[in-house]
A and B are shown apart, each in its own frame.
Chain A
Amino acid sequence: MTTPILEVRGISKRFGGVQAVKDLSFTVGKGEILGLLGPNGAGKTTAFNMIAGFLRPDAGTVLLDGINIAGKRPWDVCKAGIARTFQLSKPFGDLNVIENLMVGGFCRTSDRGKIRERAEWMADFLGMGRQREAEANNLTAFDRRKLELGRALCTEPRLLLMDEVVAGATPSEASEMVELVRRIRGMGISVLIVEHVMKVIMSLSDRVVVLDYGELIADGEPQRVVAEPRVLKAYFGERYVQSRA
């Protein structure tokens, strides 16, 4: 594996009586696409939120290029070089595409000209050049997802956290998103992706980690990990694993 850009060491989070994430550790390499898998309620989004600063871990550290960012607020995490998208996309509905993208740009500079230029470039990169003056409220669900992705990229991150970006997408839209993520990696940005669509995860990820009940149960190459009995048990239950044995 390449030098890690993100090192998650023993993070935990409890909500009342529920241990959402327990002593979770994994790394993301520079330029790597890492898939974060697990059944519903496994703790993927909680882990995501702890890395992005939306939740404070009860224990553990999150190192970005060796600097601990655990417990920092979301805007500081963003400025440190981590951008994220949300499970339910959150565009700024009454702003147009370019304005949405420009909001991300102010994270690095106050030069409006440069920000606008980058936003124009990003709209073309996303394939939304013809919709640049369209209000975000009038975009399709998939275009809103792309817009949110572009907005995150405008913050010039080193690591991008993507939370279920192809949820509800058609097969052709999913392929378009896969292609976009590959191009983003081509720009030197590392990606941590949470996804339920296995076809997307298998074709995109260099490596996957699997969570179940808040704990890490597997870490490795996608083809090998998805065949591991613990992973199959987590997704399909004990009986399925026994029937295969």
Chain B
Amino acid sequence: MNTRSITAPQRSVAGLPMGALAAGLGFGCVALIPLLMDDPFLIHSLIMVLFFAYMASAWNFLCGYVGQLSLGHAMFSGVGGYVSVLMFTQLGLSPWIGMLFGGLLAAALSVLIGYPTFRLKGPYFTLTTIAFAEIVRIWVENTNDFIGVPLKGAEGLVVPAAGDSLWAFQFSSKTPYFYIILVMLVLVMLATRLMERSKLGYCLKAVRGDRDAAEALGINPTPSTLTALAISAFMTALGGSFYAQFFRYINPERNMGLELSIDMAVMTIIGGQGTVAGPLLGALILTPISEMARGHLGGGLPGLHLVVYGLVLMACVLYFPKGAIAPLGRLVRRLTDRRGSRP
């Protein structure tokens, strides 16, 4: 059965679809974790899983639905991060405001870059996105000062401590960060769900299916893809701002490097692109693997975690070409069908 189906009849409990109910329960349980367990390492690890789930969902909003592989999304993350940090350090504005400005700037930049690049297909599109992102990263890495704004090149920027303050997006405990990224993830997943059922979602899926056929049905691919790209870039930039505030540090390699773009894409592909829950599942599978590989193997053999990534990706493409969400969805349906057929 189609895992991407968005019109299949749904079971409901008290008027709420089963899927929404299960998601609500799941996120409710996750929200209880910091109240029940006070382990900073566990909370930090969960924040990383939620962060990558958020970033992969933002990537999936466009690339998963339109079927194009962008490996330049980290550029938007960097723009969001740098704008929020600079507005805080240079203008004294709250990072929350900087986050919005960063998002808007990333959206505008994405439209400028997307207009010529979305005419390209397949590997040409992917290579162009890498090229644009790398140009920006290398420029930032080699620029200490831009029209009086200190970027500090490869060294990066440190966010000055401002104490425990919601306004300054700084907390002494990790728990507030946990709840912020959890809310961000829920919002991006809701936005994806809404988009999926809207005209925009159908247009993107049609373009992914066959561009000529989509055009013959009255769909102009350019405005649809650019709209989704701008929203995706905006959300990615918000994630980048969160990352900078969480570590209170930003540099080009961490915040806008190719590795971050690969993480977003691979997590979505492994979880299930073009689905709401796929990126979350991908992050749940890959983030712990990545952390373990980095922690236990990375010291002796740098880059080994990327080999592990590659192996997981190969296994997934071979056995679950629609992502891990497909067999999981089948299992859930089988269980609910069995329960539903009981007298």
Contacts and interface: CB of A to CB of B under 8 A. Distances in A.
A129 interface: no
Given A92-B205, A133-B1, A74 B6 contact: no
A75 B220 contact: yes
Contacts of B116: none
Given A96-B7, A133-B2, A155 B209 contact: no
Interface residues of B, number: 28
Interface stretch (A29-37, A105-113, A199-207): A105-113
8 contacts: A74-B212, A79-B218, A91-B209, A91-B213, A94-B2, A106-B218, A107-B219, A112-B197
Contact of B217 (A54, A104, A110): A104
Interface string B193-224: 00001110011011011101111111110000
B8 interface: yes
Nearest to B5: A96
B294 interface: no
B215 A103 contact: no
Contacts of A74: 212, 215-216
Interface stretch (A82-90, A175-183, A186-194, A232-240): A82-90
Nearest to A98: B7
A94 B207 CA distance: 12
Interface in B212-243: 212-220
Interface in A52-92: 52, 54, 73-75, 78-79, 83-84, 86, 90-92
B202 A103 contact: yes
A51 to B, nearest CB: 12
A94 B7 contact: no
A151 interface: yes
Contacts of A112: 197-199
Contact of B210 (A54, A90, A98, A99): A90
Interface in A116-165: 116, 133, 135, 148, 151-152, 154-155
Interface of A: 52, 54, 73-75, 78-79, 83-84, 86, 90-96, 98-99, 102-104, 106-107, 110, 112, 116, 133, 135, 148, 151-152, 154-155
8 closest A-B pairs (Cβ-Cβ)? Answer: A92-B209, A107-B218, A90-B213, A78-B218, A74-B215, A90-B210, A135-B2, A75-B220
A116 B212 contact: no
Interface string B3-18: 0111110000000000
A88 to B, nearest CB: 10
A69 to B, nearest CB: 13
A90 B216 CA distance: 11
A99 B202 contact: yes
Contacts of A148: 213
Given A73-B220, A99-B7, A155-B218, A92 B203 contact: no
B284 to A, nearest CB: 23
Contacts of A110: 199
Nearest to A120: B7
Given A106-B203, A133-B1, A93 B217 contact: no
Interface in B81-109: none
Nearest to B206: A103
A151 B215 CA distance: 12
A29 to B, nearest CB: 23
Contacts of A107: 217-219
B64 to A, nearest CB: 12
A173 B229 CA distance: 43
A155 B219 CA distance: 11
A65 B203 CA distance: 28
B210 A92 contact: yes
Nearest to B215: A74
A84 B216 contact: yes
Nearest to A74: B215
Scoring A96, A110, A152 by chain B CB atoms within 10 A of each residue's CB, the highest score goes to A96
Given A92-B209, A98-B7, A83 B203 contact: no
A84 B218 CA distance: 11
A75 B213 CA distance: 10
Contacts of A106: 199, 202-203, 217-219
Contact of B206 (A78, A84, A92, A135): A92
Contacts of B6: 99
B216 A95 contact: no
A95 B212 contact: no
Nearest to A110: B199
Contacts of A103: 202-203, 205-206, 214, 217, 219
Contacts of A78: 215-218
